[in-house]
Every structure is written in structure tokens, then in C-alpha cells.
Structure 1
């Protein structure tokens, strides 16, 4: 309590008044009654003035808090002096900064949500419009069986596209919310790669693409097998789609004391230099992207990898292919 600057001054003034009054009583005993009355009045006045000053300071702080509750975070109430009011002012200022940061974060999240809704609406609009047109055509009489089968197949493909988009968005939103707990199991990289390329073997066979695997069967890392497979599927799928017929995919994996590394290379058309900084951004589509691309597969893969203490980099040159380098670190400091 004695660290409080205001209380120190109050006690000092009271002690000085009391000492002066005491000496007055000793020197002028005949006027002792008047001196005691004057002393009492003076002490009451000093206490009143001190209390009034403290109430004024508290009133100012109350007004400051009302402004904060109204959304004004620009006021600075810091006080570098000692005392309980100074400590309170500094604590209020810290809370103000925290609320300001939270408010800015909420505005950013709101902006991102608006952009995401706009992007999702745009991505869903094309397949939904296409299905509506084809459904209308299917209702027409005299439509040939060949066209009917074609339209029905196209509607199924569009529904699969929508289902994949919604599923990917749900996964991303869960990861953004931190509601997914990634396992820390020992993963054999060779098994992970075989699991990841299995759904893509038919598209690769249709395009007569070759696959080369290079790596030791004992290479491992700690992570979540299913989610890691999801990430690799999206990356390899991107390579398959952008590699022409007769192209080649090479997957190399290795391990050292610091990290486990997986390199995925293709001989596709590559990524434009201007697109490389944004390749993992959601809904971003480079100039070499296909019409069916929605720009979310690589964003999902990057989110999965970084959530498991990993990193992913991409190198590419137009006409010469693309190389994805994935690293899962042994220990994060």
C-alpha cells in the first residue's frame, strides 16, 4: 500500500499537519482547543479533497471504459507512475489493446468468410446451372437415348464435383476451427505413397503415364496416415491432370535426422512464374488450370501438411514440369 504515490502524499500532509498542531499545542497551551478544532477541520478538508480527486480519476476511467465499449480503441490511458490507479490504468490499456486486436481479427475473419461464401457460390453456380439445363433437356420428348445417357452422365459428374467441393470445404473449415486432432503414429512412407496413388492408377493408365518410385522401404515419420494420404492424393492428382499422355511422374522419398522428405515431380506443362506465390491459396486458379479445377485441392494439401509440423514448397517451369517438396520435421522447437 505504501508504494501508492497518492497515499504517500496524503500521509505526509497529515503527518506534517499533526506535527505542526502538536507543536502549537505545546507552545500555546491556552489555544489548544482552537488548535485541535482547526486540526480536525484541516484533516477533514485534506481527506475530502483527496477523495474528490480519486473519484474524478475513477470517473475519467469510467468514461474511458464507455468509449471502449462503444468501439473506440484509439485512446491511450497509460500511466508510468506508481500507485493503484496507475496500475489500473495500465491494465485497462492492456485490455484495450487485446480487444482492439480481437476486433481486428473478427473483421478479418468476417472479410474472409464473405470472400469464401462468394467463392463457394461462384464454384457451385457453374455445375448447378449446367445440371438445370441438362435436367430441362431430359424432360423434352423425343430426346434420343444416346443424348439421354450423355446428359445423365454429365449430371452425375457435376454432382460428384459438388460433393468433392463440399467435402473439401468441410475438411478445411474443421482444420481452421482446430477441431481435428491429428494422430502421431509412425508412418511408413512407402505404404503411404501406395495408398495415395491407388485411386489415381486408372486415370494414369488411361493417359499412359509412367510412375517411378525411389526410396528406402524403411523411411518413416510421425503423423496421421489418413490425412497425409488425403494431402498426397490431391498433390499427385494435380500432377496427373497437368501431365500429358505418355508423361512421367517420379516420387522420391528419404529421411535424415532433421526431417523426412517426399519429392513429387511431373513432366507436365508446369506453372507460370506469376502463379507460383499463390498456388496454395484457396480458390486460386492459374492460367494453366483446367476448366474443372476449383482451386482447393492444393490448399487442402498444404493445410494438412502444415498442421502436422510439415512444410511444402513448389518449383516449376512452364513446359518442363513441376516439383513439390514435402518435409515432415522430426522435432519442432
Structure 2
């Protein structure tokens, strides 16, 4: 079936923006009512019969096995602005209560060097429990995964062993500048211009100011925050010049999504990757000047819990 027109895309975008936001986080499917409403006005959308991703809900429970899902409404963005508008309207905001923990599970990969000529990509799985209101200690759990070759180079010898796990206490943060909890994020501006000023407060600088604004936006795109502030992050990214629509891209977990990116002064492109159906944020990646992926993240889940696991301060860490 032919791609939808700009007017039809605008209709679907508006429908998504007006749909209720569930408490569970990414990835999520849209309600069948969206498809019904689109059909009622004869919007020509592309349909897929494949099942949509299984949603994660607060507390970690999953839908019953074998449950059927309605066909997913799928459109293909044609511009950076359209993709970021869809991301801003995506469902999945969480709403933790006071004293609860925001639990974020992610994969991370980046370039590392082990002696001269020992370049490789390290990988790890990181799970954090952060008190939603910064009121009590949380926990960080890091598991080392199998390292990966740097594109075009063999793996060096004597690499860190996969499987090691490090669990540390996360103390409440003193001072708003370095806070990263849900309550603090809720104090940030809910408009694009105001959020862009928040980007400018992130560390960094140099000749290409927009490069650092883009990197700050990528970091905040992964942050657990109320729906209004989360939407403002993507609307603020629209204001940074130089971004391009990348198209299909894989995150660190191997999930294929739709990406938008910007090339920095080093010639490397930093991408944000979104679910191709819901347009919820999946992760980010760094692509070098040769087009090879040399780092990235994959946000696997963001949920809410009443408690965090036990942990001890690290060897050089003072108690909270």
C-alpha cells in the first residue's frame, strides 16, 4: 500500500498525541480505537500483521501468553520534525509515588583501549534503582558483557572477563545541578525553548555549541521524567540545526527502529532511535566517519518498584 500523505500523517500524529498515556513504559502498543478512528476517516495507512512488541508494565508483569493484539498502525516519517513530533507524542510515561523507586534497565556499549592498538567495544548491562523523590539511597547493578571487536580490528588479548557483577549504593544527590531523579525532572520546563536552556547547562562546550546541545538532548531522552517534560525534550531537539533523518537503525540490543542523527565536529554521528510503530525512545548510537557503529545504548525497560535490593558502598565510597 502506498505511503500515507502528509495530511494523513498529521491526523495520526494528532490522534496519538490525544490518546491517554498509560503508566507503563516503553515499548507499548496503541489501543485498537486508534486504528478504528483512522479507518473511519479513510486514512490510508500501512498495516502490518506481525504482532507488536510485548509491553512491560509497572512491576514487571506481562500479558498472558497467546493473547492476540490488534494490527499496528505504522507510518514512515519523512522529516526530522515529524519523527520528533511522533516521539514527543509517544505513550509510556511512568508516575511513581513518593518514596518509590524508578527502575531503569539498559545496555551500554562504547569504545575502549587496552594498550597501544588494543581498541575494542566494551559492553555492559546496567540496572539502577533511584528513589523517585531523592529521599533515600538507591542501587546500581552493573554486569560486564562479552566485549565486541572495534569495526575492522581484531579483539585484543587480556580483555575484562564477562559475567562480573558490581553492585553499589546510589546515595541521594546533594544539590539540584547533579540530581537525576523523577521529582527533579518534574521541575524542568515543559516547553521546547525552556528545555533547550536546560540542554545548555550540561557540561561541555567548544566551537560547535549545537553539538553539545544535541548530546545533552540524547542524555535527557533516556531520563525517566513526567510526560510533559519528556515531550519537551524532543520538541527542543527539533530546534537544534543540522539533524538529518537516518532511517532504519539498530540499537545496542539489536532492535530495529527509526533514527534521527547529527554529525559532530569529529565527523561522528550521534543518533536517537525510536520504535518504528509507537515511536517510543529505544536508545542511541554513535556512528564513526566510516559508517560503523562504535557505541550506543538500549533502554530495555523503565518501571516502578516499592523497594530496592540490598547493597553496600563501594571500596572507595563513603556511606550515605
TM-score under structure 2 length normalisation = 0.23
Where relative contact order (Cα < 8 A, 6+ residues apart) is larger, the structure is: 2
TM-score under structure 1 length normalisation = 0.23
Larger radius of gyration between Structure 1 and Structure 2: 1
